[in-house]
Amino acid sequence: MKNDTTFKELKKSGYTDKTINQEIQANLIAKIKAKEPVFEGLWGYEDTVIPQLKKAILAGHHINLLGLRGQAKTRIARSMVNLLDEYIPIVKGSEINDSPFNPISKYARDLIAELGDETPISWVHRSERFFEKLATPDVNVADLIGDIDPIKAATLKLPYSDERVLHYGMIPRANRSIFVLNELPDLQARIQVSLFNILQEGDVQIRGFQLRMPLDIQFMFTANPEDYTNRGSIVTPLKDRIGSQIFTHYPKTVALARQITEQEALVSEDDKAKIQIPDLARNLLEEVAFAARESEFVDAKSGVSARLTISAMENLIAAAKLRLLESDSEKTNIRLIDFMSIVPSITGKIELVYEGEQEGADYVAKILIDDAVMTQFESLFPRISKLEKEGLKTPYTDIIQWFNNNHLELNYSDNDNDFYSKLDSIKPLTTLIEENVPELDNNDKNFCKELVLWALTISKKLDKSENASTFNFESAGIGQFFRS
């Protein structure tokens, strides 16, 4: 905290008054010259979004971030606060952060006219210079711009023609600050119109008052392309006044997606110590989101949020944590059968097209998991042929023949020793793993054993059935025969 001072002492200190654009630009330039990261935690945007953001800031533009759900638009906007000076001076008592060098409110102008160099000065931390508003249909002009306050008029015995009876809305109070308006297309057109002059000329119009208040604000807007047709649109004159429109996107690789999930998922240190997540399991989780973005059942225009995998990771950890409690074990590994626990995370994060609605959300979620399994499987093992010549041996023949005389039951609640000893009993499976992925560590090899069995069931070489607590794998056709 900085102590209050006077205008005279502020001048003596050599403080230079800057606009918010000058302030942000100066701090951006300093970070670039010092080779410091400007926007941290924005994985996958290093060569796309971040360079465009830097250029928009150097150009002094207001910015509109346009992208599908879960593309870190709000995170980008919030990270802008790190480019502000730690403290700025304001006229003490000002509602709109008046600079003593350039006061714009009647309160600040009158106080400086009365006290001059003895005007009291307060300091505002950058954390208090960030304003965020979600655009909803019920937002009105009074919320954003302001309105006449009859109680203030009565208390101060002022006529309604006096500027002092005004109650400032969120935007004037964000003077010399960053103001973020999320989901801009949701804002009613008449409310968007009220922003025209603020963005361009600096006029504030409240109930007949036309005040010349050159507000100094860095505006950041976010919008989803889907909203242009479903819920509203950005009116053209407002869009014209926004200097830069920057498109965001989803991570383009599994590795980048993993970094985002690991950064954002809420996993306690205690859980991290007790629950081991194989690398292949982490990759598979991200592949589910990639599969969803390509699926014919999922509405591509709505997008598939990065929050899907974040929520799914938390559900995976919860499934393993429940097993620790039920089996009275100290540690456990994430298993492929645990991925059934992420179905609620998937169904709540995807919008289905008509065909998907017909199939049902749970069915589509399991299809997405199967698609992800096959993508990962085929990156590690030979492709499973749909049709095979009789008598021709494939890499999977011995495994399939093992199931002609045996079946495998995997229980969610089994401790690791019991669970993996069942998988180890399939000797041809162990041989396949050692021949194809010998470089993997033991946790990933164990995960691969499940992966192979799952892929064989998807390819109709084995049958798989499940209930609330177990998965059963058996020879193709046998399961249906006994269950019928």
| Tens-place pLDDT, residues 205-220 | 666 666 677 889 999 9
Q: Residue 155: pLDDT band by 50, 70, 90 thresholds?
A: confident
- In this structure, what token pair is assigned to residue 7? 């205008």
Confirm if 334 and 443 have CB atoms less than 8 A apart.
Answer: no
Choice between 347 and 196, residue whose per-residue pLDDT is larger:
347
Query: 275-314, pLDDT tens digit by residue?
Result: 999 999 999 999 999 999 999 999 988 889 999 999 999 9
Instruction: Give the pLDDT score at 1.
Output: 59
Could you give phi then psi for residue 91, rounded to 5 degrees? -65, 120
Instruction: Give the pLDDT score at 312.
Output: 96
- Tell me which DSSP letter residue 102 carries: B
Instruction: Give the pLDDT score at 281.
Output: 97
Residues 165-187, mean pLDDT to the nearest whole number: 89
Instruction: Give the pLDDT score at 484.
Output: 34
Instruction: Give the pLDDT score at 136.
Output: 82
Choice between 477 and 19, residue whose per-residue pLDDT is larger:
19
| Residue 227: pLDDT over 60 | no
Query: Residues with Cβ < 8 Å from 81, sequence gap 6 or more?
Result: 126, 127, 129, 130, 178
Of 88, 113, 117, 66, the C-alpha closest to 176 is: 88
Q: How far apart are CA 190 and CA 129, in angstroms?
A: 27
Helices 279-294 and 307-327 meet at what angle, rounded to 10? 140
Q: What is the 3-state secondary structure (H, E, C) of 276-299?
A: ECCHHHHHHHHHHHHHHHHCCCEC
Residues 254-273, mean pLDDT to the nearest whole number: 94
| Residue 229: pLDDT over 70 | no
Which range (12-21, 139-148, 241-250) has the least confidence? Answer: 139-148
Instruction: Give the pLDDT score at 458.
Output: 95
| Percent of the chain with pLDDT strictly greater than 90 | 71
Rounded CA Rg of the chain:
30
Positive or negative: CA dihedral 254, 256, 261, 267 = positive
Query: Residues with Cβ < 8 Å from 482, sequence gap 6 or more?
Result: none
Residues 385-406, mean pLDDT to the nearest whole number: 85
Specify which residues 245 forms β-bridges with. Answer: 64
Which range (194-198, 270-274, 331-335) has the least confidence? Answer: 194-198
- Tell me which DSSP letter residue 469 carries: S
Q: How far apart are CA 217 and CA 331, in angstroms?
A: 52
| Residue 249: pLDDT over 50 | yes
Instruction: Give the pLDDT score at 65.
Output: 95
Domains of the chain with CATH codes: 5-247 (3.40.50.300), 254-475 (no CATH)
| Residue 481: pLDDT over 50 | no
Q: How far apart are CA 225 and CA 185, in angstroms?
A: 9
Mean of pLDDT over the chain: 90
Query: 41-61, pLDDT tens digit by residue?
Result: 899 999 999 999 999 999 999
Residues 414-418, mean pLDDT to the nearest whole number: 93
